[in-house]
Amino acid sequence: MNCDDDAESDTDDGRTEEPTRVVAQGTFDVLHPGHVHYLEQAAAFGDELHVVVANSESVSHKPDPIVSDDQRRDVVAALEMVDHARVGHPSDYSAPVRAIDPDVLVLGYDQHHGDEEVEAMLESWGVDCRVERAEPREPEEEELLSSSVIRERIRERRALEPLQ
């Protein structure tokens, strides 16, 4: 993960050009190839990928994360395409997005907010950026691309194991 504060570069004509900042957000609990695909697509929209990992206290649309906030952030930060990763605010979803002030916000293909809803939220927060949505990825062979499917598979296999 790059934590370099010198994000600006000089152009040939002496002007300073800022990199295109991209934000991707998610819970990233039980990281899997679908998450990696989403972040690769998000990174392709700009020069710097900032990832906001959902604060456990703010996750209300799915089961509570199994892995701690800091561990999820650290694993996401270790991915090559991620430049900056942070844990989101426990109650103010806008705080990290406003702090980053992105040029592009990329939604996962299955994130539950609609594009127009997100555009309206960004406008109300004073953030001027475009909204893109990542494409889904088809699983290869036995690949699992869903944290809930992975959790269910673990439960099924545990149920089949004899007690020791």
Bridge-based pairing of strands 104-107 and 21-26 is parallel
pLDDT for position 13: 54
**pTM assigned to the model:** 0.83
pLDDT in tens, 45-91: 999 999 999 998 888 777 788 899 999 999 999 999 999 999 999 99
Residue 155 scores a pLDDT above 90: no
- Tell me, rounded to whole angstroms, the distance of Cα 83 from its chain centroid: 12
Residue list for the binding site: 27-28, 32-35, 110
pLDDT in tens, 127-137: 999 999 999 99
9 by DSSP, 3-state: which?
strand
pLDDT for position 163: 57
pLDDT for position 32: 92
Residue list for the binding site for ATP: 27-28, 32-35, 110
Tokens of 70: 């800091």
Provide the CATH topology of domain 20-160. Answer: Rossmann fold (3.40.50)
38 by DSSP, 3-state: which?
helix
pLDDT in tens, 107-153: 999 888 899 999 999 999 999 999 999 999 988 888 888 888 888 88
Residue 2 scores a pLDDT above 70: no
